[in-house]
Amino acid sequence: MKAQPDLMQVEKDKLAIDPDFDFREIAKRPFEDITPNELAMFKWSGVYHQLQPSFFMIRIVTPGGRMTTTQFNRAIDLGEKYAQDELCITTRQTLQYHWIRQEDICKIIEGMAEVGITTKNGCGDVPRNIIGDSLAGSGPDQVGDSLKLIRWMADDDEIQNQRNLPRKHKISVASSNDALAQTLMNCQGWVPVERGGVVGWKYHAGGGLGARPYLAKLIFDWVPEELVLPVTRAAIEAFRRHGDRRKRTHSRLKVVVDQMGAKKFGDVLIDLMKEKNVQGLKSIEYAKDPIPAIGRMSINGEAVIPQKDASKSIVRVLIPRSELKTPESRTLSKLADELGGGIIMFTNRQNIELHDVPNENVDALVAALHEADFTTEGHEHLPDIVACVGTTMCKMAVSDSPDAYHRLYAALATDEKYWKSIGTLRINITGCPNNCAHAWIADIGLRGTRTRNANGGSTEGYSILVGGKLSEAGRISEYLCDVPNDEIVPAIRKVLDTYLENRSSDDEQFTDFCERIGIEQFQEYVK
């Protein structure tokens, strides 16, 4: 197909460059001979060029965030050999390698492929890693089998071979009506519902963050399970046909759904399925109201969670700054095998859960984790801070998110009495407006900024955002104030102390406090 002259350069590249690179061949080429256009297209294989010349980040694909210890052990071995002894957990429930040399890219990709893990569609304008909530397959309140749907989508060629979408495409499948699956911030979000012993699915579409955030709309109240894949495919096809390919900031499905509205977008999906001669479409029920009603997050700090199988439990492990050194990873894998069920689950807060732990092993497992200096307390509280890689590795970032993380953690999260008095709290730090760390939907979000100073340079800082949530109809966090980098600790302490002094009761959560007092009153409190 001939490239159209009015398309963006990335669209022309997608028509001219095969994204399935031979990275063995790439390993032989001088770095200077790889064009910027090719480097950009590496993303379709899960490969990003880092800020540092000739170093790369590689993201693997783990549908639902679930990995066996056999697969995890291979990831550890490769990280030890090629990624400076480290693995990084992402907010989309998978692993990243950093500091990969050009000649070693193929070794990571081929090594993970040998244990059934791909990097294809790890990044790029494609359907990304299919996520869910970390309780999928195990949680006590799950409805139906969300892992089954995630596997269907991850194994579906018609979905996974869509390599030329207008922008990235993100899908979430929840195991219950629970905000844990982040339904409202994904392009497509599936939530199970049961009627008379039959499980069907509510279908949401049009969520997405980035510089301009959107919350998903409810499109269908009921989709029979056998039609979940046809609807998912139809939504991707609708995005392919209607997404903007001339202005990248408008290229997400969230814009398509917002412009069409819920009912018209539903009509488009039905028409596309009719084109494919999909049967049974009359059984799909349009949403009576496009405003979602997602349940509140069902876990808020628990270290151990009972599973649906009453003989087993989930043990949760807090991973500081999402980074795992090789000895730590090997310890977790060994304990998962010896005392758990051999399953590693990555969470969207960049932590780890060990599933299928026999109840009689729980105390021994928790004790062993503590002995190895792991923390099991503080999930969904102040110690559980999410941060992107920031200016240390990302070309887009304007602030050093890891530095902000470490300073906030050292000053506030080590005071157990303080953070327990605050209760449930999610802080997310993102180094640029693209919002990879989801500052828009956190209780407190920090978004990196640069302010020009009198000397002609710029000063690093953050915009503080408050009150985001993904339950009920969701809410995008609101701007509170800007602070320079060296004032973020006293600024966040002021925000938290204001909450403690003015909340209506000890049970009023931070997000409810923000909604009750409103942003103008909050700004007045912290002026």
Using CA atoms, how far residue 64 sits from 24, 329, 351, 370, 387, in Å, is 29, 20, 14, 27, 21
User: Is 70 a member of any domain?
Assistant: yes
Contacts of residue 275, Cβ cutoff 8 Å, sequence gap at least 6: none
Domains of the chain: total: 4
Q: Which of 222, 251, 286 is the last residue of a domain?
A: 286
pLDDT for the residue numbered 1 = 40
Asked if residue 277 and residue 238 are part of one domain, the reply reads yes
Q: Tell whether 197 is covered by a domain.
A: yes
Q: What is the pLDDT of residues 325-337, one digit of tens each?
A: 999 999 999 999 9
Same domain, 28 and 68: yes
Which whole number is the average pLDDT over 33-45?
95
Q: What is the CATH number of the domain that holds 37?
A: 3.90.480.20
Which pair of tokens denotes residue 107?
């070794």
* Average confidence score pLDDT of the chain: 96
Residue 450 within any structural domain of the chain = yes
> What are 295-318's pLDDT values in tens digits?
999 999 999 999 999 999 999 999
Tell me: pLDDT of 134 over 80: yes
The whole-number average pLDDT for the span 215-227 is: 98
pLDDT level of residue 5 (50, 70, 90 thresholds)? low
User: What does the DSSP 8-state code read for residue 102?
Assistant: G
d(C-alpha 147, C-alpha 137), whole Å: 6
Largest CA distance in the chain: 69
Residues 170 and 107 in one domain: no
Three-state SS string over 412-474 comes to HHCCHHHHHHHCCCCEEEECCCCCCCCHHHCCEEEEEEEEECCCCCEEEEEEEEECCECCECC
Q: What is the CATH number of the domain that holds 346?
A: 3.30.70.3340
Count of beta carbons in the 10 Å neighbourhood of residue 41? 22
Q: What is the pLDDT of residues 199-208, one digit of tens each?
A: 999 999 999 9
Dump the DSSP string for 282-346: GG-EE-S-SS--BPPPS-SS-SEEE-SSTTEEEEEEB-GGGEEEHHHHHHHHHHHHHTS-SEEEE
- Which of residues 286, 321, 336 is at a domain's end? 286
Calpha distance 409→489 (Å, rounded): 9
Conformational region of residue 251, where left means phi above 0, alpha means psi within -120 to 50, and beta covers everything else: alpha
Considering the domain architecture, whether residues 233 and 188 belong to the same structural domain is answered as yes
129 within domain boundaries: no
Asked if residue 121 is part of any domain, the answer here is: no
Alpha-carbon distance of 454 to 452, in angstroms, equals 7
What is residue 451's predicted lDDT score, i.e. its pLDDT?
84
Task: Report the SS3 class of residue 382.
Answer: coil
Q: How confident is the model at residue 3 (pLDDT cuts 50, 70, 90)?
A: very low
| Same domain? 366 vs 390 | no
Same domain, 416 and 469: yes
CATH code, domain carrying 393: 3.30.413.10
DSSP one-letter code for 187? S
- For residues 485 and 399, state if they share a domain: yes
* Among 113, 128, 159, residue at a domain's last position: 113
pTM over 0.85: yes
Same domain? For 161 and 241 the reply is: yes
* pLDDT tens, residue by residue, 140-154: 999 999 999 999 999
pLDDT at position 4 is 54
H/E stretch holding 494 = helix 488-502
Same-domain pairing of 107 and 216: no
pLDDT at 346: 98
Note whether residue 318 is domain-resident.
yes
Q: What confidence score (pLDDT) does residue 498 get?
A: 98
* pLDDT digit string, tens, across residues 40-69: 999 999 999 998 888 999 999 999 999 999
* Tokens 């990873």, residue located: 329
How high is the pLDDT of residue 23? 98
Same domain membership, residue 166 and residue 241: yes
Separation between Cα atoms, residue 346 and residue 92, nearest integer Å: 8
Predicted pLDDT of residue 2 = 47
Same domain, 108 and 179: no
Residue 157 is predicted with a pLDDT of 97
Q: Give the closest residue to 134 by CA, choosing from 172, 105, 95, 101.
A: 172
Q: Are the beta carbons of 361 and 342 closer than 8 angstroms?
A: no
294 within domain boundaries: no
Domain that holds residue 57: 9-113
Burial of 451: CB neighbours in 10 Å, binned 0-12, 13-18, 19+: exposed
pLDDT (tens digit, 9 = 90+) per residue, 447-489? 999 888 877 778 899 999 999 999 999 999 999 999 999 999 9
Write down the number of H helices and E strands in the chain: 16, 21
The verdict on 186 and 272 lying in the same domain is yes
Let me know if residue 191 belongs to a domain: yes
